[in-house]
Amino acid sequence: MEVVSEQKRKKSLKRWQKVCLILLVLLLGIGIGVLIFVNGYINRSLPQTEGSISVPGLKDTVYVTRDKSGVPHIEANNTQDLFMAQGYVQAQDRLFQMDMARRQASGRLSEVAGEDALNQDKYFRTLGLRRAAEKSYQAYTEEAKQVMEWYAEGVNAYIEQAKNEKALPIEFTLLGGAPELWTPIDSLTIGKYMAFDLGGHWERQAFHYYLLQHYPEDQALELFSTYPEKAPTIIKSDELDIASSFEGAVIPHAFNGSNNWVVSGERTASGSPLLADDPHLGLATPSIWLQMVLDSPEYQVSGVIFAGIPGIILGHNQDIAWGVTNTGPDVQQLYLEKRNPKDENEFLYEGKYEKATIYKETIDIKDKDSIQYKVVETRHGPIISEFAEESGKDTVLSLRWTALDSSTELEAILLMNKASNWGEFEKGLEKFLVPAQNFVFASKDGTIAYKANGKIPIYKEGEDALLPLEGWEKENDWNGFIPFDELPTVINPDKGFIATANNKVIGEEYPYHLSNNWAQPYRYKRIEEVLEKTKNATAEDMKKLQMDQMNLQAKEFVPMFMEYMNTDNLSTREKEAVERLQAWDFVDDAKQSQPLLFHTWMKTLTDRLYEDLPESMDPLFKGKGQTTDELLRKAHKGKNVKWVEEQGGMEVLVQETFQETVRSLTEQYGEKIDEWEWGHYHQVAFKHPLSSISFLDRFFNSEDPIPVGGSRVTVMAASYNEETGIVNHGASWRFVLDGSDFTKGSHIVGPGQSGHFRSPWYHDQREDWVKGDYHETSLTTPKGEPLILQP
């Protein structure tokens, strides 16, 4: 019996093992099938780059040939086909980015992101970038409108094709929904968003107002971006709560800026001009820029453009090259508005109450009911101090901003793309109104030039744009705008070069007010220092300068701080840290410990200096670094600085924050200072917007962050999140052109051209961005099989 029982048990076990094996094979097969299906589904949305595609609306055949970096060269026989193809190809590479950009700028993110995006949508509905785009459209010529229509037709041809073939980017599936058809207003709205991103200075005006509300006047004025000649005045401090007024406001990155310079042929090895440009914006996947080459009978131009916009905004053609940095003028002004106690939609002006314009906005929210949202716009602009909650009783703040006016930047781009000399290029600049930019220019005839271009308001004499103005007084309105012919302009200067880095660009003799807020001068000083010494300059010299990591802030402040260090009171490790700083060459090298020491010390010192300020004020304290530097300089010169004195004076502030810095770094990186490295903290990742969803992080960002040198104050700009050290802002595009051959230029578009994570051009320029390895792009068609777009 026992033998029979054992045989049954063994048979039963074999049957169970067989069943388990079958189940395992089935599960494995299902898993493989799912993977094959998902893989096929994802790959279906990869851009087709060879073969032939029919695109309705084309008049003739268009050839799109991609070079080794994925840069599309679009060859068309007419202007209509050129811009249709540009729209089609941009959508191939960046459709999800384009859709998110128009949603964000239009205040429609909640439709796909849910309630978490509601406050942001309210803010952008309040600003009214899309309303400004609709207003601007009416100012365009019929020719420019037609270009926008052709471009939109190309985008829509791709959208319809991708929908029919179920080949939309995977992000749409993950978020749910599909993109709407494209319109010219979408392109103009994205253009208005770039004006927003490059901003103005209303935040600093609100911050100054807060200081006067909460601190003695002399202490408040120490933190003003410029010390006012006369004592400022404000209305009673209890009438408006600045701290709560802007909670939830979307504030552009504090370090938006750029470098550019142009060198005369008199200083170059080739005898022709050299031009370099690297705009500093957010670093993410995909890049904010899309590099393209456009070729038709009317246009032969190469460079970059924002996805969602036709033309080339920065780059070169066969005769000229140009680049920009942000001028940063005071183009935003807050106005205090007195509301009629009897009618919330009326505001005082010149002794009478006048009706505001009311916009009733419907905001759709994913998985929630839609909400109705009211936007109130006075004669000066939208009321932005109560977009989230009521913040004042009878006094609120409105925003006057040039970007909310009608403007014609796309018209300017088209004219600039076709220009062949400075006169034609400058004529195009007349149409480029917002954002105000420092343009540098070089041409085949040897001309180098500069213009601080844009729509810049004129303030009344004695007014300095430091505080909100009383909106009920006509005398506080802007007095028009600086005439185009009187904007700062330089042509062929004797010193043989022109450079800008968001620094102060005018002297005291300039008759108009431009700004109180300029970037810390270190990038410009370093560029100037190098260019003044450079003779027989080459394109390689310009690339090297774009990657320069010399920290002139540290070169100024480390010796200053050392004067206050009492080494008798330092530990052995602290003394070693001092010795390392004293031996430092002031290069923010990723492998050195000194940059980690210095930048952590500056942050620790800054935090201590302003520990009395509420955290909610920090986003409004734009230009904090410049203010801090100036306070420290004044204190070092023996002047009484209350913010420093409240910390016990320079000796206490410097020594204690240094010791705190060493303790903190020891806890994070260990006891051996020679093992501390800047790159252990300071790393670049180029995050995809959906990376914030944890399970998608490795999906869209499979590579680890890369250690990188540079910092906020070096020519190689690499600003970072102070909590994580992740570099999220810097040279979004690097460009160098040698004027001995205007048909080609050197570029880096980090992290790559494509928005599709399976594309070979998705992250292929990450390491190039870190190392400074440029790729060359020519106006001539590269070798390779083209994509043929047919009518």
Averaged over 220-248, what is the pLDDT? 65
pLDDT, tens digit, for every residue of 547-595?
A: 999 999 999 999 999 999 999 999 999 999 999 999 999 999 999 999 9
Averaged over 341-347, what is the pLDDT? 95
pLDDT, tens digit, for every residue of 397-425?
A: 999 999 999 999 999 999 999 999 999 99
Question: Strand (E) positions, 174-245?
Answer: none
Per-residue pLDDT for 235 more than 60? no
Distances (CA, A) of 429 to 175, 343, 578: 40, 44, 51
Please say whether the beta carbons of 162 and 45 come within 8 A.
Answer: yes
Residue 533: exposure state from Cβ atoms within 10 A (0-12, 13-18, ≥19): exposed
pLDDT, tens digit, for every residue of 5-31?
A: 666 666 666 666 665 556 555 554 444
Fold of 80-197: Penicillin Amidohydrolase; domain 1 (1.10.439)
Q: Output the pLDDT for position 702.
A: 81
Q: Output the pLDDT for position 777.
A: 98
Give the sign of the dihedral formed by CA 629, CA 631, CA 634, CA 637: negative
Averaged over 276-300, what is the pLDDT? 97
pLDDT, tens digit, for every residue of 657-669?
A: 999 999 999 999 9
3-state secondary structure 334-388: EEEEEEECCEEEEEEECCEEEECEEEEEEECCCCCCCEEEEEEECCCCEECCCCC
> Residue 753 corresponds to which tokens in the numbers above?
């051209």
Residue scoring higher pLDDT (154 or 233) = 154
Name the residue type at position 767.
E
Residues of the chain with pLDDT > 90, as a percent, come to: 84
As a whole number of angstroms, the distance between CA 658 and CA 557 comes to 13
Per-residue pLDDT for 455 more than 90? yes
- In Å, how far from its chain's centre is CA 157? 29
Please say whether the beta carbons of 476 and 460 come within 8 A.
Answer: yes
Residue 389: exposure state from Cβ atoms within 10 A (0-12, 13-18, ≥19): exposed
Q: Output the pLDDT for position 22.
A: 60
Alpha helices in 492-620 (DSSP H): 522-533, 539-546, 552-562, 572-582, 594-609
Averaged over 534-551, what is the pLDDT? 97
Mean confidence (pLDDT) of the chain: 92
pTM for the whole thing? Answer: 0.93
**73-77, 188-192, 458-462, 729-733: which range is least confident on average?**
458-462
As a whole number of angstroms, the distance between CA 160 and CA 53 comes to 13
The residue with tokens 């104050």 is 713
As a whole number of angstroms, the distance between CA 573 and CA 557 comes to 21
Q: Output the pLDDT for position 125.
A: 97
**Which residues are CB-neighbours of 419 under 8 A, at least 6 positions away?**
317, 319, 320, 425, 427, 428
**Which residues are CB-neighbours of 273 under 8 A, at least 6 positions away?**
262, 263, 264, 265, 442, 443, 446, 447, 448, 739
Averaged over 213-239, what is the pLDDT? 74
Residue-range domain boundaries for the chain: 1-44, 80-197, 552-586+593-676
As a whole number of angstroms, the distance between CA 127 and CA 382 comes to 6
Q: Output the pLDDT for position 459.
A: 93
Please say whether the beta carbons of 333 and 344 come within 8 A.
Answer: no
Per-residue pLDDT for 48 more than 90? yes
Judge if the upstream peptide bond of residue 751 is cis by omega within 30 degrees of 0: yes
**Which residues are CB-neighbours of 587 under 8 A, at least 6 positions away?**
549, 550, 551, 595, 709
pLDDT, tens digit, for every residue of 324-334?
A: 999 999 999 99
DSSP 673-704: GGG--HHHH-EE----GGGGSHHHHHHH--SP
Q: Output the pLDDT for position 198.
A: 87
Averaged over 501-523, what is the pLDDT? 93
Q: Output the pLDDT for position 728.
A: 96
Per-residue pLDDT for 692 more than 80? no
Per-residue pLDDT for 684 more than 50? yes
> Residue 749 corresponds to which tokens in the numbers above?
């578009």
As a whole number of angstroms, the distance between CA 302 and CA 112 comes to 35
Q: Output the pLDDT for position 32.
A: 43
Q: Determine phi and psi for 609, rounding to 5 degrees.
A: -60, -40
The residue with tokens 């941009």 is 90
Stated as kind and residue range, the H or E segment containing 728 is strand 726-731
